[in-house]
Amino acid sequence: MEQLQLPLLWFMLAAYLGAFMFYAFSFWSRNAAIRNLALKFVYVGLVLNTVVVVLRSVLIGGLPLNNGFEFGLCFVFAAAVAFVIIEKKFNLSAVGLFVMPVLVVLSIWLVSLDLTVQPVMPALRSYWLAVHVSAAVISYGSFAVSFAVSIAYLIKDKKQHDNTSRVQELPALKVLDEASYKLIFIGVPFLTIMIVTGAVWAEYAWGSFWSWDPKETWALITWLVYALYLHTRFMKGFKGKRAAWLSVLGFAAVIFTFFGVSYLLPGMHSYLV
């Protein structure tokens, strides 16, 4: 069954790439029927994504959260689920044009990795793994879609007075702003859980709650950016463009925490690459 992973990943990538292409075509042609077809491709990709997650779980005999590939696989899954939910709640199908590139890029990275099942490292043999990494997956997935929605907001805001621009096909600015906020509001508590459980786990595994490991430090920086987003929104009434830029900055921190730290600043979390 291990050999099935790569073909399924390629089919998943093809589905997400197909969704992006149909979203792009519907955006330029203003064809709602094609946009609905694009959403169907998202569902196909999500089903294949789910199959690979389940298959990997069977292969390793547990939750697929032990290394970079497994985290990335669940990251893509969480982002796809977040998009499907937010699309239904806010009628944001057109925003798929901005969400799909994130899923496509992550999927391309996944198919480039070694998919061989390896023994679980001793440091990861803990019940804290499920809580800590699952919280990270949910928060990262929410932030990824919030980032895409914020990009859509910034593009529409720039062209909002041009009635001939195709960005008028995007949802209203108020809807985009609210959707991005709701996603971050969901993501921050899970990011907090990730940091707290990580600290407790670190004390158990390494004898210290906090060691300023690069991954820990950048996770904290990411939390501070999103905490600033919520603080300024609640206390200062920051919405719209300023909130959207904070969302973009926050996701940049997420990506650096996951990829940049793993490849450029190796530390005690290096085995997660």
The answer to whether residues 165 and 204 belong to one domain is: yes
CA-closest candidate to residue 248, choices 148, 98, 177, 178: 148
Give the DSSP letter of residue 254: H
The answer to whether residues 153 and 264 belong to one domain is: yes
In a domain, 12, yes or no: yes
Predicted TM-score (pTM) of this structure: 0.90
The answer to whether residues 96 and 167 belong to one domain is: no
Domain with 191 in it:
141-273
Can you tell me the distance from the alpha carbon of 156 to that of 135, in angstroms, rounded to the nearest whole number? 32
- Tell me, rounded to whole angstroms, the distance of Cα 271 from its chain centroid: 20
Per-residue pLDDT of the chain (273 residues; tens, 9 = 90+): 788 899 999 999 999 999 999 999 988 888 888 989 999 999 999 999 999 999 999 999 888 888 889 999 999 999 999 999 999 999 888 899 999 999 999 999 999 998 988 877 666 667 778 899 999 999 999 999 999 999 999 999 887 766 656 777 788 899 999 999 999 999 999 999 999 998 887 777 666 677 777 888 899 999 999 999 999 998 877 888 999 999 999 999 999 998 877 777 665 555 454
The answer to whether residues 164 and 205 belong to one domain is: yes
| Counted domains in the chain | 2
Residue 185's identity, in one-letter code, is F
Instruction: Please state, as a whole number, how many other Cβ atoms lie within 10 Å of the Cβ of residue 5.
Output: 21
Can you tell me the distance from the alpha carbon of 227 to that of 196, in angstroms, rounded to the nearest whole number? 15
The answer to whether residues 156 and 271 belong to one domain is: yes
In a domain, 162, yes or no: yes
Longest dimension (CA), the chain: 61
The answer to whether residues 156 and 258 belong to one domain is: yes
In a domain, 122, yes or no: no
The answer to whether residues 92 and 218 belong to one domain is: no
The answer to whether residues 70 and 25 belong to one domain is: yes
In a domain, 74, yes or no: yes
The answer to whether residues 109 and 151 belong to one domain is: no
Can you tell me the distance from the alpha carbon of 52 to that of 46, in angstroms, rounded to the nearest whole number? 10
In a domain, 129, yes or no: no
